[in-house]
Every structure is written in structure tokens, then in C-alpha cells.
Amino acid sequence: MRTTEHSFQEEPGRNGNGNPGNGKPGDLLARLMTSGGLPPLDQTFPVSETAPQRWQRLFSDGIAIKEAFNLPYIQAVAPAFAAAVLAVGKEKVELLVIGGGDGHFSRMVLPTVLQLLSTRPTPIEVNVLETDLTDNILRAPARAAVVDARELDRHYMAGSFDVVVGEAMLHQGGPNGVAKTIQQAAHVLSRSGVFVHVQDTIPDPRDWVSPARLSDLGIAGIPIMRADSDKHRVELVQVSREAHAALAQCIHRETKALGGAFMLGAVQGDKTVTELKLPPHLFTRRLNAVAYDNGTLGQSEDPTLPDGRIKLTYRGTVSFIRPHQQLKTLLDAIDVMCSNES
């Protein structure tokens, strides 16, 4: 499937009917900016908790969810990162990770990216530098440095990198943070460079949805997983969609302001496991198909699965930002990575 730059509407997938596809990495752009899928579990936005309590609860549950869905996540996102590397058109590619946490990209995702690239006739050498605001990044297996993504120009010369990678980090600074980070990424990227960002976590609605809209929905605060009530189920789905859409539109707007090209797509990965490693309090019941869909958890029953097997599905969105060039070579690279996984 091909899609046009600045595209937000859904377009037909490779199967020609617009369906999401079968969840293989080859479905990289099979659906655009939708948040359908399995029905979500309830998450609510309690206002009685203190800020530290709220953060600890969100952080702990978020880490557990990320770990549980790591395998389908890698299956989903690795082709996007590999396509960005391939689109640069060089035999030696300098890759910068921003907001890298403790080195998740080089530890967990990079091996699959390199495996995908190894199928190409001409070898591609990828040199990775991981960066983050905190010294947790020094745990990364790749080269690492403590660097603020909003201050890249203080550390690196213009055009120093060919690919900039971000994993669910652009939403954290609100609209102003997005603008600054994209400007900084554009500064350090080469003329053929690509900034690729994967988003799944729900952007904090207080940054991305108007106070009036939140008031209409009866929601305030950061999304927290809950299993003891379904009071805010519909409201959560709606605010999630609106927050994700606002973030995508902000990325689009800031890229356009730089004269660059932008494309938004969806990624999906599926893995079948024998054990669900998620905290019991996240579920009111246990079903055999569980999805992490753009920051919300959902469950369903899949009668085709053998007893004792659990299907995990990851869904997220990927932004391709090309500050200095148009998208043709990137689209060609996506086609190559998709055909590799078909």
C-alpha cells in the first residue's frame, strides 16, 4: 500500500478493502490513524490521588504493559525503523535515539531492525547513539549520552545524523515540546535524513484536549488503569482518540512549518504466548485475546486459539518526518520492508 504525505484519512490496505490486515510486520501502513479494535478495559482519571501517587501508579502499570507486549511491539515497529534506515540511501547510517529511557531501542528493537536490513543485497552499517534526559540511558548497550532532545544543537553539528528515532516521547512536552524537538531533529538530520516516531501511550489529555472538552467528558488528570468500574469507558476511548489526533496534527503542523514532508501510518503486531504477564488488577475477567491499542487495553475471546494460548496484539501509530526531502524514497523503502515480511 502507498499513502500520501500529510495523510490522516484511512486508505485501503494491501488487500484492497481497507481492513487492518493480519497483523504481520508487512501490514506496516495497512490502516491510518484509527483506534478501532477490541473493546477497552476501563481506565479512569481519579483526582483524589496526590501527584506522586498518580505518577507511581501510572508508571508501574505502564512498565508492566510495555514489557508484556514487547514481542508484538517489536514485530510491529521494527519494519518502520528499518524502512527509515533504508530510505537514507547510504551504506553507513548514523542513528540517534532521543528520549531513549534506559536503552530499550538498542537492547530490544535494534537486533530485529538489523535482521530486516540484512536481507538487502548491499550491507548497511548502522551506528547507534542513545540519548535521554536522565543517566538511566547509560545502561544502554549502545553508545549513550545524557542529552535533552530539545537542545541537540548544543551537542551535535548540523547534519550529524541520518535517522532520528523516538519511542512514545514526543507527547511529553505538550505542543511546545513537539515544536522544539522537531526543530532540533531537523537541525541534526542530514539532507536525506528521516525522523521516525512511534506513539502508543495516550498523550496527557490536559496537554492535548481543551479544558472545555474534558469538562464535557467529565475527565481530569492522567489516564490510570482501573478494573473496578466501567464508568468512564466511552469517555476514555473518545479522549484517547482526540489526544492522539491532536498530537499527530501538531507534528504535521510543525513539520510543514519547516517545509518538510510528513506521513502518518499505523503499525500492528501479534504474538501468541502461554502466559499473560500483566497485573491482575487491570482485568475484571480473563479472556484469551488481549490488545494494547494506542494506549488502551482490551480483551476478547478468540475461539480459534488452542487451550492455554493467549494472543497479544499491539497497535500504535508511526510518524515519518522528512525535514529536507519529500517522501518518495521513504515510500519505496517501506514497500521493500513490507515485501521482506510478506
19-67 pLDDT, tens digit per residue, is: 333 333 333 333 322 333 333 333 344 445 555 555 555 567 777 888 8
pLDDT tens digit sequence for 130-166: 999 999 999 999 999 999 999 999 999 999 999 999 9
Q: Tens digit of pLDDT for each residue in 282-296?
A: 776 778 898 888 888
Asked if residues 23 and 268 have their Cβ atoms less than 8 Å apart, the reply is yes
Q: Which range has the top average pLDDT, 221-235, 237-251, 302-316?
A: 302-316
Q: Are strands 143-146 and 161-167 parallel, antiparallel or unpaired?
A: unpaired
Distances from the Cα of 133 to the Cα of 137, 147, 149, angstroms: 8, 5, 8
Task: Provide CB contacts within 8 A for 55, sequence distance 6+.
Answer: 222
Return the minimum-mean-pLDDT range out of 1-15, 113-127, 168-182, 212-226: 1-15
C-beta atoms surrounding 157 within 10 Å = 9
Q: Which residues contact 262 (CB under 8 A, 6 or more apart)?
A: 5, 6, 251, 252, 255, 256, 319, 320, 321, 322
User: Which grid cell is 280?
Assistant: 491482575
Cα distance between residue 142 and residue 138, in whole Å: 9
Residue 20: per-residue pLDDT: 31
Q: What is the pLDDT of residue 282?
A: 73
pLDDT of 300 above 50: yes
Average model confidence (pLDDT) across the chain: 79
pLDDT at 341: 65
| Residues contacting 119, CB < 8 A, separation 6+ | 340
User: Which has the closest alpha carbon to 84: 288, 340, 332?
Assistant: 332
The radius of gyration of the chain from alpha carbons, rounded to an integer in Å, stands at: 19
- In the chain, the domains with their CATH numbers are 25-341 (3.40.50.150)
Helix, strand and coil content of the chain, in percent to the nearest 5, comes to 40, 25, 35
pTM over 0.85: no
- Give the three cell numbers for residue 261: 514532508
Q: Among the ranges 31-40, 180-189, 203-212, which has the highest mean pLDDT value?
A: 180-189
Alpha helices in the chain (DSSP H): 51-68, 70-88, 104, 110-117, 174-188, 205-208, 211-217, 233-257, 328-341
Section 92-103 average pLDDT: 95
